[in-house]
Structure 1
Amino acid sequence: MKTITMILLTIFLGKSCTNEAQNDLTNTTIQYTANTRGFYQKIVVINQKATIFNDRSEGALPVEVKISDADWKEMVSAFAKINLEDIPKLKDPTQKRFYDGAAIANFKIRYQDNNYETTDFDHGFPPKEIEKLVNKIVALAKEKEE
């Protein structure tokens, strides 16, 4: 009897954490920006929708993409593993942006009226702590381009 109770409790708590992470991401704004002199990309994710800007001029129209349930689940899982307080302290793994070897990228999260922003890093080479989430967001924009 104790074994069954423990199994049910574990399943219940596991589901609760997943729903909490999904609710957290639903109420969160994520922004990824990468740019150089000749390249610009800004992706804003809010509640299972991505808005992609590929031009920095004021008249440019963004492209909106609905995020599939499977992609959203991956993003929720990756978001749940991120310690928001550590985001400003993350170290960049490469410095290609210093010699025009990569675009300058930046990652921001607005969560519960608090802003968390990384220092600049190379586009395509995010810090490992946020790598899964950043790569998923960038992949959404690439899919739309194709």
Structure 2
Amino acid sequence: MKYISLFFTCLFICSCGNAKEASAMTTQTELAGNYNITSVYGNQLDSKDLLIRFSLEKKMISGFSGCNQFSGSYENKGAALNFSPLASTRKMCRPEANKTEQDILKALNETIRFTENNQVITFYDLDNKVVMTLAKPEPSNSQVADKQKDYKVEYTAISRGSYMLINYENNSISFQKERNSKPQVKALSKSQIASLNAKIGALNLNELESLEPPSKAHQYDGAAIAGLKISTGSSNYQTPSFDAGNPPKTIEALVSELIGYIEKP
């Protein structure tokens, strides 16, 4: 009886493990929108013109393979992925472009499944070999600025003898270095806006309120007390108070950049 019980216990554990594996394999990223083709058969591709576009609603694919435009349909269930025979234009190009195109179309034809890891899509063939990798295109500075311009950021650093208030809103910075002074406004370039928005976008805003200050001198020796608040839409996210000049590592780059803009002439 002891061995029978042990057998069924092992069987149960293995069944649970298989169920989890099956569940994990069916949890896949939806293929939608534009992707850059970053490698084919292990060869890295640097051109940003090599694109694949997935239409999730129509299950259609189109793109540019180095010389010609191509299009077709695809089927995708869980991790399984198959492309129909692809149609393409018939322009002739340089030999290296033709070779890249042939490899891309061949790799798509051989693809039977895909995985996603850290926003990199990988296609595999029947022998489980990697035939192609894709990545989401990086947005331009103007796209980042336009997409994330609804952020509002407020940084304060206050002590008995000092005062600093910085607001980032509507793609510009306003600041006060004295309590009763009139706010000064500083316009930002698109690259500066994109840099700030990228740092804000990289934060998990829900975790701001639980950040641990690396030091707490403001609690006992009169050091300047600082705080950061970020608003987007109707939601507000705020850090606990921390020592000015020593923010939590998570927001250090953002705080440093905000202060840097108002200290530059």
Higher relative contact order (CA 8 A, sep 6+): 1
RMSD: 2.4
The alignment-based identity, stated in percent, is 28
CA contact (8 A) 2:157 2:226 kept: yes
Give the number of aligned pairs.
138
Structure 1 stretches (4+) deviating beyond 6 angstroms?
17-20
Distance 1:24 1:88 in 2: 25
| Cα pair distance change 1:134/1:22, threshold 3 Å | same
Which residue number corresponds to residue 47 of structure 1? 170
Distance 2:210 2:264 in 1: 30
**1:34 matches 2:185:** no
Give TM-score, length-normalised by structure 1. 0.81
Q: Which moved more, 1:30-39 or 1:67-76?
A: 67-76
2:219 pairs with one of 98, 115, 123: 98
Q: Alpha-carbon deviation of 1:101? A: 6.3
TM-score by length of 2: 0.47
Structure 2 gap segments, 5+ residues each: 1-34, 39-50, 53-133
Larger radius of gyration: 2
Deviation at 1:120, TM superposition (A): 0.1
Describe the SS at the equivalent of 1:27: coil
Equivalent in the alignment of 1:80: 201
**Runs of 5+ consecutive residues of structure 1 not aligned to the other structure:** none
Q: Distance in 1 between matches of 2:193 and 2:211?
A: 24
Quick check: 18-27 or 43-52, which moved more? 18-27
Which has a greater percent of helix? Answer: 1
**Which structure has the highest strand share of the two?**
2
In the alignment, which residue of structure 1 is the partner of 2:21?
Answer: none
* 1:125–1:42 CA distance, 2 compared to 1 (3 A): same
State the match for 1:111 in structure 2.
232
